Chains A and B, each alone.
Chain A
Amino acid sequence: MKALHLTAAALIASAAFAGAAHARDQIKIVGSSTVFPYMQAAAEEFANKSGKPAPVVESTGTGGGFKVFCGGIGPDFPDISNASRAIKDSEVKLCADNGVVDITEAKIGYDGLTIAMDQQAGDLNLTKEQLYKALAAELPDGKGGFVANPNKNWSDIDPSLPNIAITVFGPPPTSGTRDAFVELVMDAGCLKQAGMEELKKSDEKKFKEVCSRMRQDGPFVEAGENDNLIVQRLEADKNAVGIFGYSFLYENSDKLKAAKIEGVDPTEETIADGSYPVARPLFFYVKNAHRDVIPGLKDFLKEATSEEAMGDEGYMVERGLTPLAQDLRDATRKAVEEATKLAAK
């Protein structure tokens, strides 16, 4: 019992101590692991320039970030949440339920999702439909029902593809990259199957369910959030391909090469002009109630949206971000400056 008392006393004492000492002078940022390197850059630049305490950037995944971000208002909750997709209605609601009603959305650039393999592997030119057929758990059988995905080799899908086993390393469901891949590739490929248009109209929920389920019988391997591990595995297995953000391809361009999607190579130009079909916008969200409370937050926002950061030759772009067009950049800057409230959807 003595031990229990002591433990309890120690806990309460330390909690009280912490509560008293804990008013925050650092900016706190959570959210997407894809946006993480860009915000990291902005945070470091901000700290170097201003000499203020360095913002704390934590990579939690997009969904995990909103969960903490929407927890409430006050120093215990983060000021900014990064996202590799737009905020969902359910998250807006979660925020509102906890009193976080005034949020500003800032689009900072694009990220291309790339399908890449080892430099020494053969070239691949895939369509969304082929990717869907390679990776979906179940395919429509053409009679309104579904059968387990029978495709084992790429050539099973289309004779023009190489006759090698399908092995794809990809992100887990908690990742924003996975969400984007499902939305941009799986759903799009699924829609091209016979009868799926009708299904989408009649029963959208069912459509989402069958189209976004990735197969679990071996060819698709969930490789965790660690993209470096995927790069290593691709080096070891020349027949495997991996799914990840453009920044990883860019950094490892001597080891990896990308597959063409719908005939287009992922490059900064094709991602920015929209001709590369698997690109997604990246965002961060700001809690406006914190603007006047957390020291330095306004200056940090200015830094993160400056031309030096997200401009054509900005330091975020140097890390692999695909920049927005000039007018969109100005729009983002204006929205952040004026704390434009997120429009209700």
Chain B
Amino acid sequence: MSAAISQVQTVDWHSPAIEARRKSRYAAEARLKAYGLIAIVFALGFLAILIGSLIYSGHKAFVQTVASVEIDLSAAGVDKAKIADANWKGIVKQALLDLGDAKSLPKREQKKYLDIFTDSAAYLVRDAVIADPSRLEGKSTFVIPLSDPFDQLAKGEVSRQTPEAQRRVSDKDIAAFDALVAKGVIAKPFNWGLLFNADSRFPELAGLAGAISGSFWSIVVCFAISFPVGIAAAIYLEEFAPKNRWTDLIEININNLAAVPSVVFGLLGLAVFLGWFGLPRSAPLVGGLVLALMTLPTLIIVTRVSLKAVPGSIREAALGIGASKHEAIFHHILPLAMPTVMTGTIISLARALGETAPLLLIGMNAFMTSAAHGIFDASTALPTQIYIWSDSPERGFVARTSAAILVLLAFLVLMNGIAIFLRQRFERRW
């Protein structure tokens, strides 16, 4: 007995060696945890720097310095039948000169003074009156954005301390501007134009409407093509295709295509859609087609995985009570897989929304001052608009570029939010 017991090795769990070992094991665990935490802090830190710098440089573009000017149009003698043909330049010029009591100045200084306001002031007033002809009766107030140098001045981007020779606005300009401020006609309201104006060469008028509509139409085309095609391909491969070398080959190819850089799809679009088919350059139709090609492989893979995730018992039960394969798929399997498919689709579309390279190649980085009304109109997209603005010399576009990135990020967050919502609301687990 005692001999047998002595053969069992007894471990003293409190011996210094064991204590030390336990300590080092705990330490290793703590270290692993710390590494993970550091990695997350690191990643979040970068995200915070990115968003922080965008907000820092872009937040000023969300407000726009404007002047409100009251114009008495009843005295201007505008022909109601031909509003567009009136001498708007003259009318607006007089009104603006009155605003700053600048009528007595010599011609040259008048011109300098008028530079405070956007160059397109006359067109803005004209369009506002065409939209609402009742403004021709009596006085009405128009809101005129200030031109970029003065917008920058009002926002404190131009330091008044820099020597006069080194800034775009002279001391005299600043005095004229300050006089307007003292009169209380200058305000800095939220810059709705950023969302609802089309592009312009003047930063104070440039907006994202063209880019948003172009992105919208591209995504519509992309969805209309990649969603049905992706689902059809996935259903065939998952439910009908025999397992042989050909289907293996197709599968490998689809997986490879999912990893192809997007610029390659852009070149393909340039050669095939523009070259062979002669589709219009810069059109959201072509953008959508290219983006569809890009998202298809991912979509097929996601759909296949979600079809596979539906338990085999459901398929067998349906077939067992006499349903055809078609009925089993469309009545049972696909509806159950749909939440995951929708989530995958939205995430793919979000990726397509942020894609720049293929759109640059098919000319969706053109300048135009009107928004697209359909898939054939030339247009830009959000990421290409960011690209164009980042390359514009005017100072106001620096802030606008960051603001446009924030708008794009907001759309991406919204789409991903919808995807998460769908997943949590409808996804079923087995």
Q: Mark A residues whose CB is within 8 Å of B.
A: 1-3, 6-7, 10-11, 14-15, 18-19, 21-22, 24, 26, 28, 33, 36-37, 40-41, 43-44, 47-48, 51, 53-60, 68, 76, 119, 225-229, 247-248, 250-254, 315, 318-320
In this complex, how many residues of chain B approach chain A with their Cβ under 8 Å: the count is 47
Q: Which residues of B contact A253 (CB under 8 A)?
A: 166-168
Q: Which of B282-302 contact A (CB under 8 A)?
A: 282-283, 285, 289, 300
Q: Which of B127-168 contact A (CB under 8 A)?
A: 158, 162, 166-168
Q: Are B232 and A3 in contact (CB under 8 A)?
A: yes
Q: Are B277 and A56 in contact (CB under 8 A)?
A: no
Closest CB-CB distance, B227 to chain A, in whole Å?
11
Q: Which residues of A contact B277 (CB under 8 A)?
A: 11, 15, 18-19
Q: Which of B170-224 contact A (CB under 8 A)?
A: 198, 200-201
How far is it, in angstroms, between the C-alpha of A277 and the C-alpha of B21 when the chains are bound?
A: 78
- Supply 29 A–B pairs (Cβ within 8 Å), ascending by A: A3-B233, A14-B225, A14-B285, A15-B279, A22-B279, A26-B368, A28-B281, A33-B391, A41-B201, A43-B367, A43-B369, A44-B120, A44-B200, A47-B369, A51-B84, A54-B368, A56-B368, A58-B281, A58-B366, A59-B367, A68-B281, A228-B392, A250-B393, A251-B393, A252-B393, A253-B167, A254-B166, A254-B167, A320-B393
How far is it, in angstroms, between the C-alpha of A103 and the C-alpha of B281 when the chains are bound?
A: 22
Minimum CB distance partner of A55 in chain B: B368
Closest CB-CB distance, A92 to chain B, in whole Å?
23
Q: Which residues of A contact B168 (CB under 8 A)?
A: 251, 253-254
Minimum CB distance partner of B280 in chain A: A22
Minimum CB distance partner of A247 in chain B: B393
How far is it, in angstroms, between the C-alpha of A6 and the C-alpha of B366 when the chains are bound?
A: 32
B394: contacting residue among A7, A54, A226, A251, CB under 8 A: A251
Q: Which residues of A contact B229 (CB under 8 A)?
A: 3, 6-7, 10
How far is it, in angstroms, between the C-alpha of A19 and the C-alpha of B279 when the chains are bound?
A: 7
Q: Which residues of B contact A18 (CB under 8 A)?
A: 277-280, 283, 285, 376
Q: Are A228 and B393 in contact (CB under 8 A)?
A: yes
Other A-B pairs beyond A10-B225, A22-B280, A22-B376, 18, CB < 8 Å: A6-B232, A14-B225, A14-B279, A15-B273, A15-B277, A18-B277, A18-B278, A18-B285, A26-B368, A28-B378, A48-B369, A51-B84, A56-B367, A57-B366, A58-B367, A228-B392, A251-B168, A252-B395
Q: Which of B364-401 contact A (CB under 8 A)?
A: 365-370, 376, 378, 388, 390-395, 398
Closest CB-CB distance, B295 to chain A, in whole Å?
13
Q: Which residues of A contact B369 (CB under 8 A)?
A: 43-44, 47-48, 54
Q: Which residues of A contact B390 (CB under 8 A)?
A: 226, 228-229
Task: Say whether B339 faces chain A, with CB atoms less than 8 Å apart.
Answer: no
> 7 smallest A-B Cβ distances: which pairs?
A3-B233, A58-B366, A15-B277, A251-B393, A54-B369, A57-B367, A56-B378
Task: Say whether B261 faces chain A, with CB atoms less than 8 Å apart.
Answer: no
Task: Say whether B123 faces chain A, with CB atoms less than 8 Å apart.
Answer: yes
Closest CB-CB distance, A22 to chain B, in whole Å?
5
Minimum CB distance partner of B237 in chain A: A3
Q: Are A58 and B162 in contact (CB under 8 A)?
A: no
Q: Are B280 and A24 in contact (CB under 8 A)?
A: yes
Given A15-B277, A48-B123, are A227 and B391 neighbors across the interface (CB < 8 Å)? yes
How far is it, in angstroms, between the C-alpha of A119 and the C-alpha of B167 when the chains are bound?
A: 11
Per-residue contact bits, chain B 57-87, to A (CB 8 Å; 1 contact, 0 not):
0000000000000000000000000001000
Q: Are B393 and A59 in contact (CB under 8 A)?
A: no
How far is it, in angstroms, between the C-alpha of A26 and the C-alpha of B273 when the chains are bound?
A: 20
Interface of A is mostly: helix
How far is it, in angstroms, between the C-alpha of A313 and the C-alpha of B398 when the chains are bound?
A: 26
Given A315-B119, A320-B393, are A228 and B398 neighbors across the interface (CB < 8 Å)? yes
User: Which of A48, A53, A68 counts the most chain B CB atoms within 10 A?
Assistant: A48
Q: Which residues of A contact B166 (CB under 8 A)?
A: 119, 253-254
Minimum CB distance partner of B377 in chain A: A26
Q: Are B201 and A58 in contact (CB under 8 A)?
A: no
How far is it, in angstroms, between the C-alpha of A37 and the C-alpha of B237 when the chains are bound?
A: 51
Q: Which of B237-281 contact A (CB under 8 A)?
A: 237, 273, 277-281
Task: Say whether B236 faces chain A, with CB atoms less than 8 Å apart.
Answer: yes
How far is it, in angstroms, between the C-alpha of A227 and the C-alpha of B392 when the chains are bound?
A: 8
Q: Are A226 and B366 in contact (CB under 8 A)?
A: no
How far is it, in angstroms, between the C-alpha of A21 and the C-alpha of B395 when the chains are bound?
A: 40
Closest CB-CB distance, A159 to chain B, in whole Å?
30
Task: Say whether B344 faces chain A, with CB atoms less than 8 Å apart.
Answer: no
Task: Say whether B335 faces chain A, with CB atoms less than 8 Å apart.
Answer: no
Task: Say whether B363 faces chain A, with CB atoms less than 8 Å apart.
Answer: yes
How far is it, in angstroms, between the C-alpha of A334 and the C-alpha of B200 when the chains are bound?
A: 29
Task: Say whether B228 faces chain A, with CB atoms less than 8 Å apart.
Answer: yes
B201: contacting residue among A55, A229, A319, CB under 8 A: A319
Q: Are A44 and B201 in contact (CB under 8 A)?
A: yes
Q: Which residues of A contact B388 (CB under 8 A)?
A: 59
Minimum CB distance partner of A41 in chain B: B201
Q: Which residues of B contact A2 (CB under 8 A)?
A: 232-233, 236
